[in-house]
Amino acid sequence: MAAQRAPRRARRSPEANGGEHALAQTLRIGGLHFLTLRGAVAVLSTCAAFRSDAQLALSALAASRHGPHLFQHCNSDWFDLIPRRIVGENELFSECGGFHTHGELVARLQAAVQGALDRPAWRPSQLLALVSQMETFVVPACKNAPVSLSSYGDLVASIPVVIPLWERLPDAQKEAAGDPKVWTRISVREALNAIHPSFGDNFTNQDPANAFVSQFGAHWDSIRQADVKGDVECSLCMMSVEAMDQFKKHRKEWCDQCDAEKEDAIASFGVGDIADPPLAAGAAQVLEDRLNEIEHEYFPDGERDEDLSDRDILERVIDTKQVKFPPFPQETGLSSDDLVEALDDTYGYPGQCRLFSQPLKRFLLQNCRFTNRIKYDWIPKSAFNVPGDYSHMRVELVAGVTPSGFLCGVFVATQMTL
């Protein structure tokens, strides 16, 4: 039997090509300014010619909210590897207040990223789509993050970052990398090491034993995908709540048993009401001593449930090691006091986890091949405009690598308190 011939692809009509050309002309002369960034992404995704048109993609980027700030070395420049945010104001997110003219913006963007955009492995529209996703999911998370205040450090700034990896590879590595559509840990490591020595080594190292210890990191590294829908949960927060609930439940049972034993003791003296026992002074003292003895047996610290705050309960759960809180057991550097501050709502970390860390990590898990959190050590001290000794600034990078070869995430800056 003769092999079946594959159906021939329908040839596009001249009218269709003419329609695309007319739409492209409309977009180039200003039509993009009437579209939202998501709308521009949708339009440029309609055909291969638009997806590959660097000029259209960069024009849409220049017309977006954050595109004009790229390569300006300002607070809103996501391509800047040195966070320029002025810290010390207890604001987690701050955008650039300056105005960048549109005149030569497209030409500047094109000159800056054209080397990467010309690569056949990915199209300019992918950069545009990523910026759109960052505006939709990452920026709101940064804005909604509550400030955390503790003796371990005050989280004072969150700054989005995007790094095109392909242009960072040395020429020899570009040839050896083969098809850059598939970004492996090796190719990511080489690209980041080309930016700073050991940057890539640290980012691609997934060994939990080498994780940088911080209270923010204790929550971040505990966030996992919870279901097929992509929802996430923080096992550290969940385990602390469950442990405290179990403690309160056990404490109530303990109180009930103590009260029941006291009632039995009172009944053994033939008294129905301890408030006014019809006993002789000696017998009354014996009964009082027995009741105090029972109370001390159950509560040697002299504190009942109503006397304990949530922080007191949390301290006892941690000190007695009833729960081994992942991912940082005590021997890795977080003391009991550090864990208490990481889990006590007073210091803001649980709220920060819900409003900032979990939405951000959900975005990274859904859109990136792999993610990591590292201490970002490659920042000159002059980048920190803070009074006094700015050597106590610490920056962590939480990020992931997209299939199209971008490292995207957030710089998290902490000012250490002395």
Three-state SS letters, the chain: CCCCCCCCCCCCCHHHHHHHHHHHHHHHCCHHHHCCHHHHHHHHCCCHHHHCCHHHHHHHHHCCCCHHHCCCCCCCCCCCCCCCCCCCCCCCCCCCCCCCCCCCHHHHHHHHHHHHHCCCCCCHHHHHHHHHHHHHHHHHHHHHCCCCCCCCCEEEEEEEEEEECHHHCCHHHHHHHCCCCCCCHHHHHHHHHHHCCCHHHHHHCCCHHHCCCCHHHHHHCCEEECCCCCCEEEHHHHHHHHHHHHHHHHHHHHHHHHHHHHHHHHHHCCCCCCCCCCCCHHHHHHHHHHHHHHHHHHCCCCCCHHHCCHHHHHHHHHHCCCCCCCCCCHHHCCCHHHHHHHHCHHHCHHHHHHHHHHHHHHHHHHHCCEEEEEECCCCCHHHCCCCCCHHHEEEEEEEEECCCCEEEEEEEEEECCC
At 85, the pLDDT band (50, 70, 90 cuts) reads: low
Would the pLDDT of 365 be above 90?
yes
Q: Are 84 and 142 in contact (CB under 8 A)?
A: no
At 366, the pLDDT band (50, 70, 90 cuts) reads: very high
At 95, the pLDDT band (50, 70, 90 cuts) reads: low
**Tens-digit pLDDT profile for residues 65-78:** 887 777 777 777 88
| Stronger pLDDT, 134 or 255, i.e. the higher one | 134
**Tens-digit pLDDT profile for residues 49-60:** 777 777 777 778
pLDDT at 331: 44
Would the pLDDT of 360 be above 90?
yes
pLDDT at 309: 78
Strands 393-401 and 406-415: antiparallel
State the CB neighbour count (10 A cutoff) for residue 355: 17
Query: In the chain, where are the structural domains located?
Result: 30-221+349-415, 237-326
Query: Stretch 70-97: mean pLDDT, rounded?
Result: 64
pLDDT at 398: 94
At 399, the pLDDT band (50, 70, 90 cuts) reads: very high
pLDDT at 285: 80
Would the pLDDT of 219 be above 80?
yes
Indicate the average pLDDT of the chain.
Answer: 74
At 330, the pLDDT band (50, 70, 90 cuts) reads: very low
3-state secondary structure 196-223: CCCHHHHHHCCCHHHCCCCHHHHHHCCE
pLDDT at 14: 44
pTM: 0.76
Q: Which of 7-21, 108-122, 172-186, 260-274 has the highest mean pLDDT?
A: 260-274
pLDDT at 379: 66
Query: Stretch 3-9: mean pLDDT, rounded?
Result: 51
pLDDT at 233: 92
At 324, the pLDDT band (50, 70, 90 cuts) reads: low
pLDDT at 268: 79
Of the candidates 204, 203, 241, the residue with the CA atom closest to the CA atom of residue 222: 241
**Tens-digit pLDDT profile for residues 156-200:** 678 889 988 877 776 666 655 555 567 888 889 988 998 888 899
Residue carrying the six token digits 């105090």: 292
Query: Stretch 36-58: mean pLDDT, rounded?
Result: 78
At 400, the pLDDT band (50, 70, 90 cuts) reads: very high
Would the pLDDT of 329 be above 50?
no
